[in-house]
Chain A
């Protein structure tokens, strides 16, 4: 049997990789890719705690499904924004989208 800690460490590592992607990539689409990795790490944690806690209590899986829905909504709106910005400014580099930068 796999101990619970292995799942948590896997999720922590995946979250950190996603955080690196979200913080350091220049392309806005690549930033969204990093955010997807972070959401997946959260889902691993939710499923692992469901399995290692009380199996009859479905809260972990239900919240994983809510995270699926939120991820789908987030990526739809995010990519729509990126495409809209690309149409108007002709760039998807996050550094160059600085209209509101103080």
Chain B
């Protein structure tokens, strides 16, 4: 077992453990903070995958914006939600069964796929992934249309969020 594999296993255990805490802990502020550590674990996985830009965006957008938004929402809506009564609904065991079945099914499908043992080719020397990504995002024969659609979606979500949450007196 190489050092990279040990690092990956540690990061994966950290990520999955924090993820389990997100869905099981009673205090929602703690759940949001565990989400931060899960997202950080995923950012480290991106870094192991040589996707540096994704790792940075994960930290900036997910941890810096989305997780903080969650914490704000929890603080605005908690009142007496703090851990009184069960945190899971009465059909929680169906959800647990479905997620175990989903994992089992995905695992079974992966076993039957012959590309699993594939190893990554070395990154060619002089290959700049960030520059390639930037070019791909704005090049007309690549992904400029999905990029623009994503920006329209963000504007629509911004306007929609302001409209929905606006407090009409």
Inter-chain contacts of B136 with A (CB < 8 A): 58-59, 61-62
**Candidates B42, B110, B127; contact of A55 at CB < 8 Å:** B127
B123 touches A55 (CB 8 A): yes
Inter-chain contacts of B49 with A (CB < 8 A): 7, 47-48, 50-51
- Residue in A closest to B85 when the chains form the complex, CB atoms: A26
- Count residues on chain B whose CB falls below 8 Å from chain A CBs: 92
Inter-chain contacts of A9 with B (CB < 8 A): 107, 110
B161 touches A76 (CB 8 A): yes
B77 touches A86 (CB 8 A): yes
- Residue in B closest to A87 when the chains form the complex, CB atoms: B167
Bound: A56/B126 CA distance, A: 12
Contact with B along A66-90 (1 / 0, CB 8 A): 1011111111110111111011001
Inter-chain contacts of A7 with B (CB < 8 A): 45, 49
CB contact under 8 A between A76 and B157, given known A3-B116, A5-B117, A62-B146: yes
Shortest Cβ distance from residue A10 to the other chain B in the assembled complex, whole angstroms: 5
Interface residues of A in 16-44 (CB under 8 A from B): 16-27, 29-30, 32-34, 36-37, 40, 43-44
**Candidates B107, B115, B154; contact of A72 at CB < 8 Å:** B154
Bound: A94/B140 CA distance, A: 44
Q: Label chain B's interface by main secondary structure.
A: helix
A25 touches B106 (CB 8 A): no
A80 touches B42 (CB 8 A): no
B160 touches A80 (CB 8 A): yes
Bound: A50/B139 CA distance, A: 19
**Candidates B4, B65, B88; contact of A2 at CB < 8 Å:** B4
Residues of B within 8 A of A (CB): 2, 4-5, 8-9, 12, 15-16, 19-20, 22-23, 28, 31-32, 35, 38-39, 42, 45-46, 48-51, 53-54, 57-58, 61-62, 65-66, 69-70, 72-74, 76-77, 79, 81, 85-89, 91-92, 94-96, 98-100, 102-103, 106-107, 110, 115-121, 123-124, 127, 129, 132-133, 136-137, 142-143, 146-147, 150-151, 153-154, 156-158, 160-162, 164-165, 167
Residues of A within 8 A of B (CB): 1-10, 12-27, 29-30, 32-34, 36-37, 40, 43-44, 47-48, 50-52, 55-56, 58-59, 61-66, 68-77, 79-84, 86-87, 90, 92-95
